[in-house]
Amino acid sequence: MREQKTIRMQKGTISVQTENIFPIIKKFLYSDHEIFLRELVSNAVDASTKLQVLAQRGEVSGEIGDLRVEVLVEPEQKRLIVRDRGIGMTEEEVNRYLNQIAFSSAADFLEKYKDSSIIGHFGLGFYSAFMVADRVEVLTKSYRPEAPAVRWICEGSPEFTIEPAEKAERGTDVILYINSENEAFLDRFRIRELLLKYCRFLPIPIQFGTRTEYETVGEGEQAKEEKREVPDIINDTHPLWKRPPVELKDEDYLRFYRDLYPAAEEPMFWIHLNIDYPFHLTGILYFPKLGNAIEVSRNKIHLYCNQVFVTDDVRDIVPEWLQLLHGVIDSPDIPLNVSRSFLQSDANVKKISEYIARKVAEKLHDLFKNDRPAFQAKWRDIGVFVKYGMIADTKFQDRAMNFALVRNVKGEFYTLPDYKEKVKAVQTDKYQKVVFIYTHDPEAHDALVKAAQNRGYDVLCMDTVLDNHWMQHLEYHANLDIVFARVDSNTLDKLVQKDEATASVLSDEEAERVKSAFEKVVGADIHARVECSPLSPDDAPVTITRAEFLRRMKEMQALHGVVAGDNYLDAYTVVVNTNHPLIASRLARIEEADARAELAQYLYDLAQLQQGMLRGEALTKFVEKTLQKI
């Protein structure tokens, strides 16, 4: 029989140069006090995992038994206990791991670690307990048979006490005496919430009290419902992202998504990430249905490190345009600061970001290539990611040229190169740019769309929230030699500018009279400008156009929340078709000024009505005049 080592009670000082370490831990090291629970439970899981490894190597005699970690709340005693059945510690290990903090001084700590650190490297997690506790006790017994139990006591200062203790089972109890400022952590509901947040997928079972289960016993009339108390295990020790994709079905992924986001619609599809070199990373990213909205919430991707939740702020590891995705990413190689709360700048971060973007591009291309009709059916949702990605990421843009789509008003889909090939014969302007004509509202622009189609033009539907930015980007950064022009940005003859001129049937004097009549009608509107132009007799008598670049700039400002007052961006042109019969044969021939003005007003109102600009009293008067003419 092995002789047990005798423990003498001893007192000492933790790391002689750390008299200021506890205030620093409380005020600097952790941004949120709740993280203490994550750190202590993670330590308990580490202790249990180490025991499993030793057992596999044959260094632990006998069965290791149940390794679950328990979290207990004792409000009356103002205590919170984290208990594990892991490797435990000897007196020597207590001295080494609890009494020696790896700092030379508080000043050195601030200087050395405020900007960079790696998770798990400094072993500071245990000391987070002092953020919420006035007193911390550690009762521990090593797995080594000859090692006696040890109790370590500290009251938030560098002084500590180590004394012999009684403990029947292997493992460690960390006992926190919660201070008055943090009594919220004695609330069971609060602790359960934190355990679900931080420890939901840890690899060792975490028990938090018990729960009631009901089962039917007996059959027929003898059947009765019985209840029993069972351990409440709050975590899934084998999360979906850790399992091989070949073992999983669609329903497994959908069930996991519903567990993560109970109120969300089912996702369109997902990507299972799994890489071992040059870094380790696993995870599942889901593509949610966004419709015509870019979700402002950026906390739907959860970052884990060895199944420990770290943060939902993944700006540094997931490209901005992919932060609309949902899901989880887990990597032990992600560089974190000393408190495991924030990502640090590191070459691995860039590699991981590029890897995720590449995997997304590959997934989208595979979907497009393997089932184009299904891809097109989902394009309205998928397009948000693709367009955002092309704007933000040059490498992704190059890949996306194979599957980024445009849709015309007939409902036909084309890749950008294919569409350019389709329309270039008719829609190439005098500058050798291919003009992509579009509408954001086919119903509102119905007359203009039909007129453009009658000229042989094809009209796209560009009606999503990102389209203005996307079009601008494609014009200047995609090497496609294209320009976009909305159907109402100019008269039909100038949508695709050619070196062609149409003669006016009016003399200069007649044209000036017509222009003067419309200028009086437009009145004092500083945004309006009247222009007489000889168009086709089949074109509208009066058309209101808005310069493409001005209108687009105003819409992009609105997207970013910039609300401008009256300014040059509201400018529009009232184009009078001097070759239309109502202008050339009627209005220009009217001698009486009031009659000429009345017809000009009516034609101007019609043009405003077509653009949705006729409202309020002006619309009421127009309807009344129209009824009088019937």
Three-state secondary structure of 325-355? CEEEEECCCCCECCCCCCECCCHHHHHHHHH
Most confident by average pLDDT, 3-7, 149-153, 355-359: 149-153
- What letter does residue 156 receive in the DSSP assignment? S
Q: Is residue 594 part of a domain?
A: yes
At residue 570, the pLDDT reads 76
Provide the CATH number for the domain around residue 593. Answer: 1.20.120.790
Q: Is residue 213 part of a domain?
A: no
Provide the CATH number for the domain around residue 183. Answer: 3.30.565.10
**8 A C-beta contact, residue 517 and residue 597:** yes
d(Cα 518, Cα 318) in Å, to the nearest integer? 56
d(Cα 382, Cα 360) in Å, to the nearest integer? 11
Q: Is residue 233 part of a domain?
A: no
At residue 113, the pLDDT reads 34
At residue 10, the pLDDT reads 66
Per-residue b or e along 551-576, where b marks 16 or more CB atoms closer than 10 Å to that residue's CB:
bbbbeeeeeeeeeeeeeebbebbbbb
Per-residue b or e along 250-277, where b marks 16 or more CB atoms closer than 10 Å to that residue's CB:
eeebeebbeebbeeeeebbbbbbbebee
At residue 119, the pLDDT reads 30
- Is residue 18 classed as helix, strand or coil in its secondary structure? coil
Q: Is residue 388 part of a domain?
A: no
Q: For residue 176, which of 141, 127, 129, 124 has the smallest C-alpha distance?
A: 129
Query: What amino acid occupies position 614?
Result: L
Residue 476 has pLDDT above 70, yes or no: yes
At residue 297, the pLDDT reads 52
Structure tokens at 8: 């003498």
Residue 120 has pLDDT above 60, yes or no: no
| 491 & 520 share domain | no
Q: What is the mean pLDDT of residues 477-484?
A: 94
- Is residue 520 classed as helix, strand or coil in its secondary structure? helix
At residue 339, the pLDDT reads 45
Q: What is the mean pLDDT of residues 101-126?
A: 41
| 523 & 484 share domain | no
| 479 & 517 share domain | no
Task: List, as own/partner pairs, every contact residues 582-586 make where C-beta atoms lie below 8 angstroms and the sequence separation is at least 24, other chains included.
Answer: 582/541, 583/506, 583/514, 583/541, 584/505, 584/506
Residue 123 has pLDDT above 80, yes or no: no
Q: Which helix (H) or strand (E) holds 625?
A: helix 616-629
Most confident by average pLDDT, 55-69, 192-206, 578-592: 192-206
Provide the CATH number for the domain around residue 257. Answer: 3.30.230.80
- Residue 324 or residue 142, greater confidence: 142
Count of CB atoms situated within 10 Å of the CB of 504: 18
Confidence of residue 37 (pLDDT cuts 50, 70, 90): very high
Q: Which of 474, 495, 516 is the last residue of a domain?
A: 495
Give the number of C-alpha atoms closer than 13 A to the C-alpha of residue 274, restricted to the C-beta side.
8
- Residue 172 or residue 112, greater confidence: 172
At residue 336, the pLDDT reads 59
Q: Is residue 118 part of a domain?
A: yes
pLDDT tens track for 315-344: 878 888 888 899 999 988 776 554 445 555
Confidence of residue 12 (pLDDT cuts 50, 70, 90): low
Q: Which of 156, 191, 208 is the last residue of a domain?
A: 208
Q: Is residue 566 part of a domain?
A: yes
Residue 366 has pLDDT above 90, yes or no: yes
Residue 137 has pLDDT above 50, yes or no: yes
Q: What is the mean pLDDT of residues 165-193?
A: 95
Structural domain count of the chain: 4
pLDDT tens track for 526-537: 788 898 999 889
Q: Which helix (H) or strand (E) holds 358?
A: helix 347-370
Query: What amino acid occupies position 546?
Result: R
| 434 & 580 share domain | no
Task: For residue 414, list its beta bridge partners.
Answer: 406
Confidence of residue 187 (pLDDT cuts 50, 70, 90): very high
pLDDT tens track for 94-110: 888 887 654 323 233 33
Residue 114 has pLDDT above 60, yes or no: no
Range of the domain at 303: 240-371
The dihedral formed by the CA atoms of 192, 195, 198 and 199, expressed in degrees to the nearest 10: -150
Q: What is the mean pLDDT of residues 338-357?
A: 68
| 93 & 162 share domain | yes
Helix, strand, coil percentages, rounded to 5, for the chain: 40, 20, 40
pLDDT tens track for 422-449: 999 999 999 999 999 999 999 989 989 9
At residue 20, the pLDDT reads 53
Residue 84, judged by CB atoms within 10 A of its CB (0-12, 13-18, 19+), counts as buried
| 48 & 26 share domain | yes
pLDDT tens track for 229-282: 899 999 999 999 999 999 999 999 999 999 999 988 899 999 999 988 778 899
| 44 & 184 share domain | yes
- Residue 123 or residue 201, greater confidence: 201
| 315 & 429 share domain | no
d(Cα 484, Cα 419) in Å, to the nearest integer? 13
* Cβ neighbours of residue 614 closer than 8 Å, sequence gap 6 or more: 605, 608, 622
Residue 627 has pLDDT above 90, yes or no: no
The dihedral formed by the CA atoms of 252, 256, 257 and 260, expressed in degrees to the nearest 10: 180
pLDDT tens track for 61-93: 888 999 999 999 999 999 999 999 999 999 998
Q: Is residue 560 part of a domain?
A: yes
Q: What is the mean pLDDT of residues 150-174?
A: 91
At residue 18, the pLDDT reads 46
| 41 & 178 share domain | yes
| 40 & 177 share domain | yes
Q: Is residue 244 part of a domain?
A: yes
| 199 & 87 share domain | yes
At residue 312, the pLDDT reads 85
| 478 & 552 share domain | no
At residue 103, the pLDDT reads 34
At residue 109, the pLDDT reads 32
